Structure 1
């Protein structure tokens, strides 16, 4: 027996040495064998250039160029003629990818396959949970016919897709307009030359889409058989339109509402698509207060302002881009608040003032308007200040997901979902894990609900984690998605930069948006793991200095890993995804982890961006335990457990004032291939509402907890206001 002891010790020592060798090899592979990408020299603004985009600066204003067009900003309304292209389109799947060979892109002359072509209603998601194509991954085709809208002869035409999932190529009348990878932000093409404009002429748009992830797409593929943590939807799932645009038009507006300066500082980018003689024009700006009364106006004419209240000039630059700068003073600005969405309306009118014979006449002025709000965000060690007061974000995370519509979000669904958000007594929605529809952003703004926007840089570099969870077969190990091997891929990071810039361009003027999120649960170990995200933060801050930036960090319940998340110190505040009590540990362990993070980062407040537990609607503790994927045994998937965990987290949050907000995961149950063994197969059941939007017990519990916190906050605010009034009264009497 004694002779076996040295043998056992030797075997143990060999095993330990093998583990150490494997760990060292992995560290070397992560740190020294990854592709080289110098983030210190990679442009964040001017000079940035990537797949399908470049960044230029005109008179100090950043302009994103895509498909050789300046990227238009979001405007609430215009007087331009627009033809919505929603409605009935032809649709066909192409699992063998033979559509190009068969000439499906050739417009009216193409013969689409009999029996495989169907009529669908765009916006359309072809693989929703209730669709016959719910498990389809691959190529599909769309086609629509339309007549060119009437317009002035000096107008040009812009085809705008609000978003297409995930990769797309577009043809008009057989002419290829371009290709794109990226499924959550708008993109445009100049279709003036390809349009048939004769009376009665029919035009045909064909779109080839592909919903499969790649190693450099957003979201990125992170394993050989990997889907993201939501269903990889596909299709033309947001609106499409053709807009008739004057040759001299307003491209975008950057409006900074500054409460302390009592002014709206505007930078209006004007696009001139003509090489004729110099065009003189006049820009009239009028601002209306929330009560509907005019409160300020300015006029910028030619190369200078004629209104003494709005200084600065229009500086015309090369490339047909001009920038008009002016200031609109506001005597008594009222702040945009949660529950009190006080919105100002800015109307801009661009008209021609030139009498030169070869100038381009504006037959009708170009008019645009947008809604603005006075709202300032500042991060301090104690929390997040909004309009000068510390606020607690009573939040919820939300996916774009519905059993019937998939990722498509009709206005009626958005309105009903936000009704539930307000019944929850929430004041904040985390829009996960990608830029959401503009209609939802507008609805949040109009209701006075705070929001954050996130780009789809999801679990980048975590291929090893996906591999461990999915199959663990050595031949399937995702070397290309292992740590920095993915995050140093130039194309991936440039795609992330483009989506971030597109999101900011679209939504910068929305006062409901508090901050930008540059990723979710990505690889951030060691100092090298922080560099990609420090670079993305600089991209966001240069494009929009008014908002803080964060990213949601995963927690593994492994102290060695959780204590080395180097990106935390790069962010303006900390966002943590915690699943103590579900995937690992217990809720009490979350308290210890939060205290430890606070010790490491004492000057940064914390938002808990995710936590929760699955609960099958109607399932009780009495139903016993349920065995499913990814979760340790011993879970009941009951509504009681979900409610109990929610209360435990809220209690530990109450005891830690450095936690300034939460957004539990998730608003409603959603379609996800990760969970075939759940009580409802292929659904993530962490929703506070079911997929049919029926509330669970945790919904009512959190609604009551939020109501109590709201009541306490209002009481503190009233005491503060009363104390301020008393001090002012004493000073007056003195």
Structure 2
């Protein structure tokens, strides 16, 4: 299951999920020895999607690994092959031929195979999870670094003329929506062709026309129309619309929700109503599944988050599964989406590197295109905790913010800073996120009050005093089950003390528009016995979760639930 609704009813789709042959390439000799032509004896059978680090004897492995899957086609056909997420570098081969390369980890990429002959075919993927100073994230990162094909691989059979893309944009005027639709039809035929195109919403026919597409060409269709008295998507009260683009032999569905996003008086406004954000940071990670997070567990995470009283989730720190965002769409939960530029240990020299910037811009574009139709996505975040005190950071950020605004002007552009009193990036953004850990990494929790007073004055001087401020990370570690008579470090009691005191301070500040507690669940840390980083992570976990890694609640969960639910009643 890739989405909570079918994206195609006519187009034949097959998931290639299941056992694939797997072999490590720790010496990086596979390409030289042509493993893509003659795959070596498989080390083991590995289920796709999954992370190899969850397998026995592969826990610490970072590097290159190869996958192989044999598939059969009954007749010559056009194939669209989609990899929904492969961690790091990915090279794809079919029958010994190199088809393409992708770098990233959390966004899909596709390959079109026109007229694939009938018979058995060998699909081989070379992956490389190695981190270095120019990868995103870089070599020092505060989460466990998994490797593997972490989301589904999909094989679609497409006709001579097929629907290549389907984009829906709109502007709200009161209760009416002015809608612009762009559909790209692509021909894989050697002859000119025609198709009867139809666009509809649920049971409502919007338009239809006969289309001619030249051999091997692409035809772009654009439509503008208005829907009146639309039902608006609101936090806690979601309304969704399902649109269909179709021709005789192909179809594609996209789902959207209508809402207007603004800022005013230090608040986020959805459809003109201010929303105080009650949020949590969530890694899409589980100790038994890594980043290959199953849909069933996504539903459980959502149920716990709803129980907590949240109306928003921050996707820390990478593009998360479309299935997860579908669930948020359906439940009226606001989402903050970001790419994995985690910068607490990111050298400033790295942000100047052309390759790093190219990768960052590509990741931003791929994330926006992947999540563009989700009404739950209110924030696009360009980076987290980089050294935002420098001119180099300013130049990179200016490029990234410019790209996002070009791709999508309907949402808010943001980031999270760990240098709020020295940051030079404040004027570039619609919303400012602050990450600070008073009571844990520095001082006492009461330090938030003085820090915010200084921050607001500085923001005014920089011309950013009117922007909403969100507390995007704060908290402390608590080991599940460690309770006592006093709030000791690493105890559930002390963690609850930090979080509850901080929430009270933030709610008293009229310029703070919401909170994202760090974090939802305990996650694996990137600890190495030979390394110097994160050695304060007890159990090799970042233990700041309100629930532990198996989703069992700590004392802080119960305290936050009490506070968030009380705030929800005040705001209703």
Aligned length: 557
Q: Superposed, which structure 2 residues align to 1:266-285 within 5 Å?
A: 266-274=180-188, 279-285=193-199
Q: Superposed, which structure 2 residues align to 1:64-103 within 5 Å?
A: 76-103=7-34
Secondary structure of 1:144's partner? strand
* Structure 1 counterpart of 2:129: 211
Q: Superposed, which structure 2 residues align to 1:702-721 within 5 Å?
A: 702-714=560-572
How far apart, in 2, do the equivalents of 1:318 and 1:379 lie? 48
* Structure 2 counterpart of 1:699: 557
Check 1:617–1:660 CA distance in 2 against 1; reply closer, same or farther (3 A cut): same
TM-score when scaled to structure 1? 0.72
Counterpart contact for 2:386–2:393, Cα < 8 Å: no
Check 1:122–1:526 CA distance in 2 against 1; reply closer, same or farther (3 A cut): closer
Check 1:366–1:679 CA distance in 2 against 1; reply closer, same or farther (3 A cut): closer
Counterpart contact for 2:188–2:215, Cα < 8 Å: no
Secondary structure of 2:497's partner? helix
Check 1:273–1:145 CA distance in 2 against 1; reply closer, same or farther (3 A cut): same
Gaps of 5+ in 2: 460-464, 528-532
Q: 1:431 aligns with which of 301, 315, 320?
A: 315
Tell me the CA shift for residue 110 of structure 1: 3.0
How far apart, in 2, do the equivalents of 1:529 and 1:192 lie? 43
* Structure 2 counterpart of 1:398: 282
Q: Superposed, which structure 2 residues align to 1:250-289 within 5 Å?
A: 250-260=163-173, 262-274=176-188, 279-288=193-202
* Structure 2 counterpart of 1:41: none
Q: Superposed, which structure 2 residues align to 1:39-58 within 5 Å?
A: none
Larger radius of gyration: 1
Q: Superposed, which structure 2 residues align to 1:402-417 within 5 Å?
A: 402-417=286-301
* Structure 2 counterpart of 1:71: none
Q: 1:683 aligns with which of 532, 541, 555?
A: 541
How far apart, in 1, do the equivalents of 2:506 and 2:215 lie? 55
Tell me the CA shift for residue 276 of structure 1: 5.7
Check 1:520–1:422 CA distance in 2 against 1; reply closer, same or farther (3 A cut): same
Structure with a larger share of its residues in helix: 1
Matched, 1:121 2:47: yes
Q: Superposed, which structure 2 residues align to 1:307-346 within 5 Å?
A: 320-346=217-243
TM-score when scaled to structure 2? 0.92
Counterpart contact for 1:500–1:518, Cα < 8 Å: yes
Q: Superposed, which structure 2 residues align to 1:530-545 within 5 Å?
A: 530-545=394-409
How far apart, in 2, do the equivalents of 1:100 and 1:275 lie? 34
What per-residue deviation string (whole Å, max 9, x for no partner) do you get for residues 515-538 of structure 1? 100001112214443121121011
- More off after superposition, 157-166 vs 183-192: 183-192
Gaps of 5+ in 1: 1-73, 289-293, 304-315, 351-363, 467-480, 556-561, 626-635, 715-734
Tell me the CA shift for residue 77 of structure 1: 3.1
Counterpart contact for 1:253–1:266, Cα < 8 Å: no
Check 1:580–1:679 CA distance in 2 against 1; reply closer, same or farther (3 A cut): closer
Counterpart contact for 2:187–2:215, Cα < 8 Å: no
How far apart, in 1, do the equivalents of 2:553 and 2:511 lie? 30
Matched, 1:165 2:23: no
How far apart, in 2, do the equivalents of 1:645 and 1:244 lie? 54
What per-residue deviation string (whole Å, max 9, x for no partner) do you get for residues 480-517 of structure 1? x631x211111111111111111111111111111100
Check 1:402–1:330 CA distance in 2 against 1; reply closer, same or farther (3 A cut): same
How far apart, in 2, do the equivalents of 1:374 and 1:299 lie? 23
Structural RMSD (CA): 2.3
How far apart, in 2, do the equivalents of 1:75 and 1:505 lie? 19
Counterpart contact for 2:188–2:216, Cα < 8 Å: no
* Structure 2 counterpart of 1:489: 353
Counterpart contact for 1:375–1:387, Cα < 8 Å: yes
Q: 2:146 aligns with which of 233, 251, 260?
A: 233
Tell me the CA shift for residue 453 of structure 1: 0.7
